[in-house]
Amino acid sequence: MMDYKGYKAQIDFDDDAGIFVGAVINTRDGITFTGRSVDELRRAFREAVDDYLAMACDMAGNTEQPYSGKLAIRVNPMLHRAIATCAEREGKSVAAWVADQLTQATGINAVKAG
């Protein structure tokens, strides 16, 4: 599995052709790429995503983002209160505090949508 700018790709090897074949799995828009080595495959994946995002600008943003960026969760009231207290202590909204915590927990830096 490869990850770039929030897009995730599954990689397979085509033994007959002797190449790696990748496909982005968290969009329905059919982003694919190939490479003969891991480095070539990684470059092709990044170029494919960058080209896709550039196309989005040309199409007034009409490409599919990997996810919306909105996450609705339910927690018990005691946890909600504790989260609100932590957020207030840090001078942040609950949403901003939770996003910061999830960013730290996953190691994924926030990527601006669009």
pLDDT at 111: 46
H or E element at residue 10: strand 7-14
Residue 34's pLDDT is what? Answer: 96
d(CA 22, CA 11): 4
What is the structure's pLDDT at 72?
83
> How many Å apart are CA 30 and CA 27, to the nearest integer?
7
User: What are the extents of the domains in the chain?
Assistant: 2-59, 69-113
Phi, psi of 4 (to 5 degrees): -150, 120
Instruction: Return the H-helix or E-strand segment holding 44.
Output: helix 38-58
pTM for this model (two decimals): 0.54
Which pLDDT score, from 0 to 100, does residue 59 have? 60
The confidence score (pLDDT) of residue 97 equals 93
In 3-state terms, what secondary structure has residue 59?
coil
Place of tokens 């007034």: 60
Residue ranges of the chain with pLDDT lower than 50? 111-114
pLDDT digits (tens, 9 = 90+) for 31-48: 999 999 999 999 999 999
